Structure 1
Amino acid sequence: MSATGDFTVRVRKKEVVRALLPLQEHWLPLSNLDLLLPPVDVSVFFCYSNSDAMSFAAMVAVLKKSLAETIVSYYAFAGELLLNSAGEPELLCNNRGVDFIEAYADVELRNLDLYNPDASIQGKLVPEKKRGVLSVQTTELKCGGVVIGCTFDHRIADAYSTNMFFVSWAEMARSTPMSVIPCFRRSLLNPRHPSHLDPFIDQLFQTISLSKISHQHTENLLSRIYYIKAEHLYNFQSLASSNGIPRSKLESFSAFLWKLMAQFAEQNNKMISKMGIIVDGRTRFSNERNETAKIMASYFGNVLSIPYGEHKVNELVERPLFWVANEVHRFIENALNRDHFLGLIDWVEAHRPQPTVAKIYKEGSNDGPAFVVSSGQRFPVCEIDFGWGRPIFGSYHFPWGGQTGYVMPMPSATINGDWVVYMHLLKEQLEFIENVASHIFRPLTADYLCFN
């Protein structure tokens, strides 16, 4: 049978999983870096092949028990987000709990159209978050396989924080002590007194009326999942570093993708192309004794910035890959330091309680394409073993709305150096990429997952 998104999902049971131990109710303020995020939800899912060692009912029991144990430490995921008197979101840690759904889908794992997650995943195998901060859905497939899908409020956690949570949840399910205890010390991200406003921040972020933040999925933006072979990634890196300056795989891949998007823009008579890269600031907070850096390694929340660059499309098309990679590095390096994140915290403080948004999020325009690349290289897909084996596939699913594209490369569960790349772009952009680079961006198929 061919891959398909044409199947039905039947919900068997809905319940709320609360922390195993009683928690003292308290308010947890969002940090200034949390307040940079608009109210958008992010989904992630993991696919497991049939396990003869454990029934689905036994799996669900393990998941619920270990989830109740895990949210004792990750109590933010068991709370609810409310507006305070200033109109800003604030987390009430009241052990409201996590919505947990058990479901059945009349499709086999090998027939899931993972290449087209809008049809096979969205609204079917990842839950809609209706209340609280986190929702979980566990779905039994016709073949005995299982899909675990989660949706969380991005204002509470970034991908780094969520990755910590998934690893801890899997550890608890295997009766293994948690390797990381999350830190919620918001004082680590307090604004400075006196503050120092960096004009560079005004180039990256802006205040915006809450009523103007659009999160409706535009009809012409689609999600696709591809895989890229390791040899192509090494080739990108070699070409991007050919001027003698070594570049990371992420910089090299991003440069290659920027050139592709510029080619698309040139064919459509566009003049400018813009690309942002999400930077995690945890390793930027350090002091001489490195105490803060150790604490930040377990910090739960958002510690992100989105620097971006723009260039004329003809330059991006005509210049060699190493030149484009240098330009990528040039705009990223402005955010790779402690002062940038301290300045970002001060900038939010100066504009509170006005909502803010990254400018690149609003930059899809008639001038040319704009998109953001998020580094998912820490995605711990091979560590999410709840006791019945590691997943054969896992991915984020983030159709974030607006006109700005979103791309997230992640390590493949095949453990061979390949990448899985989630892309949320205009339909025409995806068609162009598949036409000119089909040998590199290969649709995610059951053959790749099951027989590689």
Structure 2
Amino acid sequence: MVTILGTHTVIPKEETPKGLLWLSDNDQLWRWSHTPSIYVYNPKQNNNTVVDVNVLVERMRDSLSEILVHYYPLAGRLSWTDGGRLELDCNAKGVLLLEAESKKSMAEYGDFTPNEPSIKELIPAVDYSRQINELPLFLAQVTKFHGGDGGFAVGILFSHPLGDGLAAIRFINSWAKLTRGAKLDPSELPFLDRTVLKPTGPLTQPRFDHPEFKPLPLILGRTDNIEEQKKKTTFALLKLTPEHVQKLKKNANANNPSPRPYSRFEIISAHIWRCACKARNLEENQPTVVKFNVDIRNRLNPPLPQNYFGNALGPTVTPTCYAKEITTQPISYASQKIREAVNKVSNHEFVKSQMHYVAGFENRWDLIRTPYLEKGEYRADVPFFGNPNIILGSWMSMPFYEADFGLGKPFYFGPGGVCPYDRGVIALMPDEDGDNGYGVVVYMHFQVDHMKDFIKYFWEDI
């Protein structure tokens, strides 16, 4: 059980610009709720002295107030326009920082994966029945574990319309850097002008077909995916050592028709796709695809500033394949299909066409966002990414282990909730032996009925 000891509304330390901030079409694509995540720290493991929770929270509160001067949009509030778009009022109403203590020791929380119901008490709670303009856009909860180990959890809620995963991680890392007494470099300050993603000139007919925004394949014989939406999902944390990754690379590149080796993301995504098709025992002629987002900061011409704060994701989808092709062909086959999807979003003209396509969504935004599943609502007219398909995410470039608040680096970082549809997230993980570079961790959300078989194939097929 966790007791909340204090709730602090934190506003920017200095006067910040006020007024409405335009949110790009890319910001409009995602659920309007918050993305939960959790960091876990063991100062003793990092040879740090035990930290007093009151001192820690005071430092974090002061540095949060300081960092909000640069990230002042996070201290604002969202609202709806008449056309169904989100807009941001930069009104400096502030963010929330909660101070808490648990009656459980760090060990009693197990591996901190979101399957454990008690993990929810380490994440701030939000009442989504309130008006959207009353909801803070960023919340953090600092929880001290029971016992003398000095362990802490920092649970985070970050509003998705304000930024993608990379934007969120950079904000948290900058906050952590200030907390431990360091100064920010000019290159670490955010670029806030989202109009750089505004289509220029009159909207034109998209030059590409854009299947990434169209309905995905259904289970054969079905007319909608309502039955799949209702199925429960669970979570598994799968850790690939550097040796596992090398073995998958060797297998995939043995049949690679290109001189350019497949990337870790392409290979591990293909591996997940194959295992998912096998675990679901799909019909041989069942159509299936993988959908994922690609960071477009470097894929535009000119490229976005590297410190762009906002959503800069280009959705993409593989060519439609049959389950038999994915499960019986060498892993290079699925890897190539993943590469084809990546290559589409590497084309500036494709991304530009995508921006014009999305701009045509006016008055249809409720059909794009997907918070309905989290509230137990099931709709056939909105996107669903689960069986027979899968959605993947890459956190390969996200330096979340740099979030040192003066407690040392976190020994665990992960999602704070179970996704309501099949989803795999691929991230780098420091090798536990410290000598072999980085391994890869897969945060896997999958239907309860199929997870056991998925894990079996995940290890057998390496």
Q: TM-score range by the shorter chain?
A: 0.7 to 0.9
* Shift in CA distance, 70/201, structure 1 to aligned 2, threshold 3 Å: farther
Aligned length: 418
CA RMSD across the alignment: 2.7
2:236 is matched with which residue: 196, 203, 224? Answer: 224
Separation (CA, whole Å) in 2 of partners of 1:171 and 1:74: 15
Q: Which amino acid aligns with 2:7?
A: K
How far the C-alpha of 1:328 sits from its partner, in A, is 1.1
* Shift in CA distance, 106/218, structure 1 to aligned 2, threshold 3 Å: farther
Q: Which amino acid aligns with 1:383?
A: E
Contact 1:114–1:121 (CA<8 Å) still a contact in 2?
no
Give the TM-score normalised by the residue count of structure 2.
Answer: 0.83
Give the TM-score normalised by the residue count of structure 1.
Answer: 0.85
User: Structure 1: which 5+ runs fail to align?
Assistant: 1-7, 208-213, 288-292, 442-452
Contact 1:47–1:145 (CA<8 Å) still a contact in 2?
yes
| 1:271 lines up with 2:283 in the alignment | no
Question: Percent same amino acid among aligned pairs?
Answer: 21
Contact 2:394–2:427 (CA<8 Å) still a contact in 1?
yes
Alignment of 1:49-448 (within 5 A): 49-50=42-43, 51-114=48-111, 116-120=113-117, 122-130=119-127, 131-143=135-147, 144-179=150-185, 180-198=188-206, 200=208, 202-205=210-213, 220-242=232-254, 243=256, 244-266=259-281, 271-287=286-302, 293=303, 295-309=304-318, 310-355=320-365, 357=368, 362-364=383-385, 368-397=387-416, 399-401=418-420, 404-413=421-430, 414=432, 416-438=437-459
**DSSP 3-state at the match of 1:394:** strand
* Shift in CA distance, 418/300, structure 1 to aligned 2, threshold 3 Å: same
Separation (CA, whole Å) in 1 of partners of 2:6 and 2:211: 48
* Shift in CA distance, 199/418, structure 1 to aligned 2, threshold 3 Å: same
**DSSP 3-state at the match of 1:16:** strand
| 1:21 lines up with 2:14 in the alignment | yes
**DSSP 3-state at the match of 2:398:** coil
* Shift in CA distance, 122/40, structure 1 to aligned 2, threshold 3 Å: farther
Q: Which amino acid aligns with 2:423?
A: Y
User: Structure 2: which 5+ runs fail to align?
Assistant: 128-134, 216-225, 371-380
Contact 1:409–1:421 (CA<8 Å) still a contact in 2?
yes
* Shift in CA distance, 129/301, structure 1 to aligned 2, threshold 3 Å: farther
How far the C-alpha of 1:106 sits from its partner, in A, is 2.0
How far the C-alpha of 1:315 sits from its partner, in A, is 0.7
Q: Which amino acid aligns with 1:390?
A: K
Separation (CA, whole Å) in 2 of partners of 1:125 and 1:15: 16
Contact 1:266–1:314 (CA<8 Å) still a contact in 2?
no
How far the C-alpha of 1:374 sits from its partner, in A, is 0.6
Contact 1:116–1:223 (CA<8 Å) still a contact in 2?
yes
The Cα offsets for residues 291-314 of structure 1, whole Å up to 9 and x where unpaired, read as xx3x52111111112211231111
Separation (CA, whole Å) in 1 of partners of 2:309 and 2:180: 23
The Cα offsets for residues 149-171 of structure 1, whole Å up to 9 and x where unpaired, read as 10111111100100110111111
Separation (CA, whole Å) in 2 of partners of 1:361 and 1:313: 24
* Shift in CA distance, 429/201, structure 1 to aligned 2, threshold 3 Å: farther
Separation (CA, whole Å) in 2 of partners of 1:332 and 1:194: 28
How far the C-alpha of 1:388 sits from its partner, in A, is 2.3
Matching residue of 2:375: none
The Cα offsets for residues 46-69 of structure 1, whole Å up to 9 and x where unpaired, read as 110145252111111111111111
* Shift in CA distance, 235/94, structure 1 to aligned 2, threshold 3 Å: same
* Shift in CA distance, 173/140, structure 1 to aligned 2, threshold 3 Å: same
Contact 2:112–2:119 (CA<8 Å) still a contact in 1?
no
Separation (CA, whole Å) in 2 of partners of 1:337 and 1:358: 25
Q: Which amino acid aligns with 2:456?
A: N
2:28 is matched with which residue: 35, 60, 64? Answer: 35
Separation (CA, whole Å) in 2 of partners of 1:115 and 1:47: 8
**DSSP 3-state at the match of 1:412:** strand
Contact 1:265–1:313 (CA<8 Å) still a contact in 2?
no
Separation (CA, whole Å) in 1 of partners of 2:391 and 2:315: 8
* Shift in CA distance, 306/349, structure 1 to aligned 2, threshold 3 Å: closer
Contact 1:266–1:313 (CA<8 Å) still a contact in 2?
no
Contact 1:101–1:138 (CA<8 Å) still a contact in 2?
yes
Q: Which amino acid aligns with 1:357?
A: I
Contact 1:259–1:317 (CA<8 Å) still a contact in 2?
yes
* Shift in CA distance, 317/268, structure 1 to aligned 2, threshold 3 Å: same
How far the C-alpha of 1:320 sits from its partner, in A, is 0.3
Separation (CA, whole Å) in 2 of partners of 1:164 and 1:361: 31
